[in-house]
Each structure stands twice: as C-alpha cells, then as structure tokens.
Amino acid sequence: MKLPPVLDQPLDSEQRLKYLGPKRLQFLKTLIGNRDVFHLHITATTVDVGSWFGKRRVTCCLLDREMVLFAEGPRAYVERIPFDQIQESQYNHVTGEVVLAPRETDSLTSLKVPPLIALEILANIRNGDDHGSA
C-alpha cells in the first residue's frame, strides 16, 4: 500500500492545543521546547504512570526526525525514538496497531491507532528526512 505524503507543515499552537488540551500541551512543551511538531495523536495504548485512577493513554508526537511518546502522571512515561531506529515499522490491521520495529526493549513496541493515523505515522517514520523539502 502506498503511504500518504510526509506531513511537512508543522502544527501551530492552536492546533496543538485543540489536539492535546492545556495540561498535556504544557507537559509536551517541557519535553520538546519550541521544536516543530508535525503530528499529534492520543493513542488507545495505555501505560501505568502510578495514578490511582488507572493507566493513562499514550500520546504520540512526531518531530522532524524522532517520535516522542508520553503519558502524564506521578511517574510520567516519556520515550524518545529516533526514526532511524524504527524504519521497519508496519501496521498490523488485525490488532489495529503500529508495530515499532526493530525494537528489542521492555518499553512500548506498538501503538493502537486508527488505520489512517497509522499511515501518517508510518509515512513520517520512513521518510522523516523529507521534512521541509516541499
């Protein structure tokens, strides 16, 4: 299947706020500063962050050459993954997950997202060097 074009226009601050809300947006700013964000999605994947209210959903943020995964909580989950380390990633249509490959780690190895979001994520992972070339 052909992937969609790389998302080469960064999201502005209003778009970021719309996707994340003020609390998640502030947390993201502490992680990445003022770097350009090309994609944001709150996935259906959850992680334990030490909250009494259960697991929290993981947010996927795509920068120019890396993916930042995070979930807020008393023990916040944060992971930065350079695109060149997950070039073999693919979408598993049976489970509805982007499988991050190759990854031999105890942390997340997949993200539960809708098919169209998965295609956007894969396009950016595989063609991350194309940002700004349009």
pLDDT tens digits along 84-106: 999 999 999 999 999 999 877 77
Q: Domain-by-domain residue ranges, the chain? A: 13-130
Preceding omega of 4 cis (within 30 degrees of 0) = no
What predicted TM-score, i.e. pTM, was given to this entire model?
0.90
CA angle 100, 128, 8 (to 5 degrees): 125
Nearest CA-CA partner of 129 in 36, 41, 6, 9: 6
What does the pLDDT read at residue 113?
A: 97
d(CA 82, CA 1): 24
Q: What six digits make up the tokens of 114?
A: 């809708």
Overall fold of domain 13-130: PH-domain like (2.30.29)
pLDDT above 50 for 130:
no
